[in-house]
Amino acid sequence: MNEEIINVSMELIATSGTAKSLALSAINIAKNGDKEGAIKLISEAKIELNKVHNIHGDLISKEASGKKLDISLLFIHSQDHLTSAIIIMDLAEHLVNLYTK
């Protein structure tokens, strides 16, 4: 397996995990009535998701330019983490809005 894909996969997993944790924390804080704290955590989660999107975009650009990528089960697993982070982020934004109305 290509070392670059291993490193990128691990970075995607870690950064997506950070985004998920921040988003889930935002929900809990919003549930307790701290709108400002929840919004701050949502903003931090968005920063982490932007990092993941940039990493992902770089891989897409490399493949589009003809570089063959060695896709592995670890890379597929990292995509699962990215997808779940995006879904949790979307839900967190809605729940924070509901809890803080």
Tell me which of 53, 77, 81, 94 is the catalytic residue.
77
Q: What is the pLDDT of residues 17-30, one digit of tens each?
A: 999 999 999 999 99
Across the range 55-74, mean pLDDT stands at 89
What percent of the chain stands above pLDDT 70? Answer: 99
pLDDT at residue number 86: 96
Instruction: Say which residue the tokens 């809605």 belong to.
Output: 94
Q: Give pTM, 2 decimals.
A: 0.90
Active site residue 81: no
Nearest CA among 95, 94, 99, 88 for reference residue 21: 88
The DSSP letter of residue 101 is -
Whether pLDDT at 1 is above 80 = no
The helix/strand/coil state of 94 is helix
Contact status, residue 34 vs residue 99, Cβ threshold 8 Å: no
pLDDT at 2: 84
Q: What CATH number corresponds to the domain at position 62?
A: 1.20.58.80
Mean pLDDT of 4-8: 89
Judge whether residue 69 has pLDDT over 90. no
> Can you say how many angstroms the Cα of residue 72 is from the centroid of all Cα atoms in its chain?
20
Domain count, the chain: 1
The predicted-structure confidence for 32-46, as pLDDT tens digits, reads as follows: 999 999 999 999 999
Q: Does 71 score more than 90 pLDDT?
A: no
Domain around 32: 3-99
